[in-house]
Amino acid sequence: MKGKSIVLSLALGMSLIGCKKAEKKVEIKTEEDKTFYTIGSMLGQRLATLGLNDQEIGAVTKGIVDAAKGKEPLVAVRDYQPKVQELFRERMKKQSSKTKEDGKKFLESFVSKEGAQKTASGLAYKILKAGTGKKPTATDTVEVHYHGTLIDGTVFDSSVDRKKTVSFPLNRVIKGWTEGLQLIGEGGKIRLVIPAELAYGDSGAPPKIPGGATLNFEVELFKVMAPQAAPAPKAAPKAAPKKAAPKAAAPAKK
């Protein structure tokens, strides 16, 4: 099913971003139009990481049109289906490598030009406000505000923008957060530049976070809460007392 999902996503996405003539004629008016447009947008964002050129987009679009019209395919489709996943992996890896390299330059610039520090794990950080309260441990729950961007400034998530703090156990998030938040106390604020290895790796978190992405966060720590102890197990019900076995009947007299 996974292979079919990739094929379908690739095909539908390319048809939506490749048919330029159709795009000029389409008007998004009804609620159904908007729903289909949203499907196209989601698929297009996912496929954008492959870095396809016009020839490749055209080839995919040709395949969609021929199949939709019931024409005989130009290639043995079944023979090429396994290659779709292989191509997908190779392109994702290639794009991830470039994204990682750009992120590495951004992180090093942050350290050299902005007076940030770098830990042994590769995390870069700058304490904006140390805080005067308790510092969290990895198992504590923290209440924070955060603002997360890619290195180009694109916002992918922000509790600040939502105007609502969030709370979570510190060991249930990406490694860069688990390490970085332990450097400040309650009332503190820190900027974290987190390489992919300490974030979402080569896979990313599509569609907003591409594979290999270095993440840039500003995090304000409001409260540290110790982990809650697991409730004590309920006492097992006592076993009912065993009944004495009935005595054997005396043999009848002859």
| Tokens at 238, concatenated | 């006592």
User: Is 127 within 8 Å of 133 (Cβ atoms)?
Assistant: no
Backbone angles phi, psi at 116, to 5 degrees: -80, 170
> Which of the following is catalytic: 146, 151, 184, 202?
146
Backbone angles phi, psi at 119, to 5 degrees: -90, 170
- Distance separating alpha carbons of residues 61 and 8, to the nearest angstrom: 13
> Which of the following is catalytic: 88, 110, 125, 217?
217
> Which of the following is catalytic: 190, 200, 202, 209?
200
> Which of the following is catalytic: 6, 64, 127, 157?
157
- Distance separating alpha carbons of residues 55 and 53, to the nearest angstrom: 6
Residue 157 among the catalytic residues? yes
Residue 80 among the catalytic residues? no
| Tokens at 113, concatenated | 């030009």
- Distance separating alpha carbons of residues 11 and 232, to the nearest angstrom: 53
Residue 200 among the catalytic residues? yes
Residue 110 among the catalytic residues? no
Active site members: 146, 156-157, 174, 200, 217
